[in-house]
Structure 1
Amino acid sequence: MKPKVSVIVPAYNISKYILDALNSIKEQTYQNYEALIIDDGSLDETPSIVEEFCKANQQFKLLKKPNGGLSSARNYGIDHAKGQYIALLDGDDIYSKDKLANHVAHLDNDPSIGVVYSASQAIRDDGKATFFVLSGKPLYKDILTSLLCKNFIGHGSNGVFRHCLINEVGNFDESLPSSEDLDFWLRVASTKRWKFYRERKILSYYRVRPSGLSFNISRMRKCNERVISMALERSPKLVAPILPKAYAYMFRYLARLSLTSGNIPQAREYINKSLSHDRSIFIQDPRSLLTLISVLVSPLTTLTLRGILGSNSAAKP
């Protein structure tokens, strides 16, 4: 039987986490799926672990390719996918057991829905839950405006979408080392044809891993600025009026990441840039106000975050 859903699992040097991800797929209440794990040139035991798992579970298939980055691995998996729907799951994250059943039902019941996603929760490196929850609620009624200001889908292990969208808007941009998922969702939103449906229940869990993300924040800024520029080129009349607010939210986000990684001077620099672009976001959006306050009391905030997430941790882009 042809699978209705293709779960795409990019995997690169995540031998410590990959079985948690694969078992969360195996335990789904919805079973008409194939799981394609794309080993992106791992140098650790990831491919051998996945290979053994696939031998015991016929719905799982290991695909190997040279290292090319996250978007390259996703695109490679999508190119081999047979499903009507595409589900994304990074190899260090986890699905709730009802994730696929819930999202497939919404896609089946409403042909105008192009993308389904849910609320999600951060887990520590050791798998323990934190109190950090992403509701996924858009900031504005207009989806394009909301995405420009905040990637409300939250992370790369949350969206389930119609396979046909790839033919309509293209694959993930392999030239973007980060923010590639936001770019994809913006392209879908720019069609003005497809609805984004939010499931309010927590059905995805994204792992906050120990890392030196602080050195990637400048790269993330460049990627975000490029994504905004490409959105402006596609829809100049729609995007141009939103630019000050979009940049204010971008710099607020970078300030939060800088704070989480322990770089207080950088966090203050970015929060000041956010204020200079549009101060109103700190009145309209409680999370933005919380970020501002957190930067103002930054030494205490940094210690608290490290206690919650584990030392040397950083927020996932």
Structure 2
Amino acid sequence: MTSSSNELVSVIIPSYNRASYIDAAIKSALDQTYGPVEVIVVDDGSTDGSYEKLQQWEERGKLVLLTHPERRNRGQSASINLGIQQAAGSYIAILDSDDMFAKEKLADQVAFLEANPETGMVYGQGHAVDADGNFLFKVPGDGHQELSDPNRLLLDCYMALPGGSLVRRSVFEKAGLFEESFRAGQDHDMAIRIMEATKCAYLPKLAFYYRKHDDAISVKGLERRWLTGLEILRRANERYPYTRSTIRKRKAVLQFRLGQTYWRERRKAKALPHLVSSGLLDPTRALKVLIGREQV
């Protein structure tokens, strides 16, 4: 699928202490087969030399470099929001500073959205890679289908965001921006609100490379992630008519993950109430876990 569109795409890259990876991320956005593209990098108060690298890119006219007042660290959500607010494009793509776009990502996804005006967001497959770029696994796996059902997304959190997606700017105007009070799970929260606001589609083509390494945000702060998940669930339940089954099963998952986190930290007294709560909320799944029919 190729695009004859000349609509501007704004690529937003939030960056914090990614000196080892930021050049590759920027290059992947600049090397797209689609144009026109503007690249906006928001530095979130980096102290590892990556800000100086970004200044060099800006001096060469390759990107727009933004910072928060006094170069303060305000978190990934605030950085993405600043980029979106300054973007001029009709389409918004977000790229984590340690990930990389596939070369045809924007061309494929712009063409899809141009051909499907009722769709507000499209996303593709990601290839997880290690710190050295070696392939690990696919996200989502082959055969994945998108039903554009918020219930399914709230429950399973399966979507490869943000790097895999392309979103119409108008969708953010309807769904709102990233929640700046969240320092974990903000990508899931945003994906849910987008799907509540518009039709979403999956294009089964490679869209980006998702880097898995020890310093990744997603492997830090598990307690905070699951507690934030409970707040995301509470807000979702107030905002949209999810089924009672979806709310109950998602709460069971989050209670289990919290209990599992505490248990692995040897905080067993704190873990047990969450594990019991999870079993009561979804006894069928709990039984499958106990007898080994489902891996966790």
Answer yes or no: is the 8 Å Cα contact 2:13–2:40 preserved in 1: yes
State how 1:218-257 maps to structure 2 within 5 Å: 218-235=223-240, 237-250=241-254
CA distance in 1, matches of 2:213, 2:259: 19
CA-to-partner distance for each residue in 1:241-260, whole Å, 9 max, x for gaps? 3212222344566689x59x
Q: What displacement does 1:38 show? A: 0.5
Q: What is the letter of the counterpart of residue 235 of structure 2?
A: M
2:31 alignment partner, one of 13, 24, 27: 27
Structure 2 CA distance for partners of 1:271 and 1:99, relative to 1, 3 Å: farther
2:66 alignment partner, one of 63, 68, 71: 63
Q: What is the SS of the residue equivalent to 2:242?
A: helix
Structure 2 CA distance for partners of 1:158 and 1:167, relative to 1, 3 Å: same
- Residue 92 of structure 1 is matched in structure 2 by 98
Moved more, 78-87 or 118-127: 118-127
Structure 2 CA distance for partners of 1:124 and 1:266, relative to 1, 3 Å: farther
Q: What is the letter of the counterpart of residue 219 of structure 1?
A: R
Answer yes or no: is the 8 Å Cα contact 1:9–1:35 preserved in 2: yes
Q: What displacement does 1:200 show? A: 1.6
Residue 134, structure 1, aligned to residue 135, structure 2: no
Q: What is the SS of the residue equivalent to 2:24?
A: helix
CA distance in 2, matches of 1:247, 1:67: 31
Q: What is the SS of the residue equivalent to 2:221?
A: helix
TM-score (norm 2): 0.83
Structure 1: unaligned runs, 5 residues or longer: 293-317
CA-to-partner distance for each residue in 1:171-216, whole Å, 9 max, x for gaps? 111011111122222222223xx21111222221111121497761
CA distance in 2, matches of 1:136, 1:274: 30
Q: What is the letter of the counterpart of residue 156 of structure 1?
A: P
RMSD, aligned α-carbons: 3.2
Answer yes or no: is the 8 Å Cα contact 1:115–1:159 preserved in 2: yes
CA distance in 1, matches of 2:166, 2:277: 34
Q: What is the letter of the counterpart of residue 224 of structure 1?
A: G
CA-to-partner distance for each residue in 1:123-147, whole Å, 9 max, x for gaps? 1122222135423977884521011
Answer yes or no: is the 8 Å Cα contact 2:278–2:286 preserved in 1: no
Q: What displacement does 1:63 show? A: 1.2
Answer yes or no: is the 8 Å Cα contact 1:124–1:208 preserved in 2: yes
CA distance in 2, matches of 1:252, 1:120: 27
Q: What is the SS of the residue equivalent to 1:238?
A: coil
Identical columns (%): 27
TM-score (norm 1): 0.78
Structure 2 CA distance for partners of 1:182 and 1:97, relative to 1, 3 Å: same
Moved more, 17-26 or 177-186: 177-186
CA distance in 2, matches of 1:252, 1:27: 43
Answer yes or no: is the 8 Å Cα contact 2:33–2:104 preserved in 1: yes
Q: What is the SS of the residue equivalent to 1:209?
A: coil
CA distance in 1, matches of 2:148, 2:293: 22
State how 1:1-317 maps to structure 2 within 5 Å: 4-56=8-60, 58-65=61-68, 66-131=72-137, 133-135=139-141, 141=147, 143-191=149-197, 194-211=198-215, 216-235=221-240, 237-250=241-254, 263=264, 274-280=278-284, 291-292=295-296
Q: What is the letter of the counterpart of residue 237 of structure 2?
A: L
CA distance in 2, matches of 1:67, 1:8: 17
Answer yes or no: is the 8 Å Cα contact 1:244–1:278 preserved in 2: yes
Q: What displacement does 1:169 show? A: 1.7
Structure 2: unaligned runs, 5 residues or longer: 1-5
CA-to-partner distance for each residue in 1:212-254, whole Å, 9 max, x for gaps? 977611101111000010011112x434332122223445666
- Residue 308 of structure 1 is matched in structure 2 by none
CA distance in 1, matches of 2:257, 2:95: 23
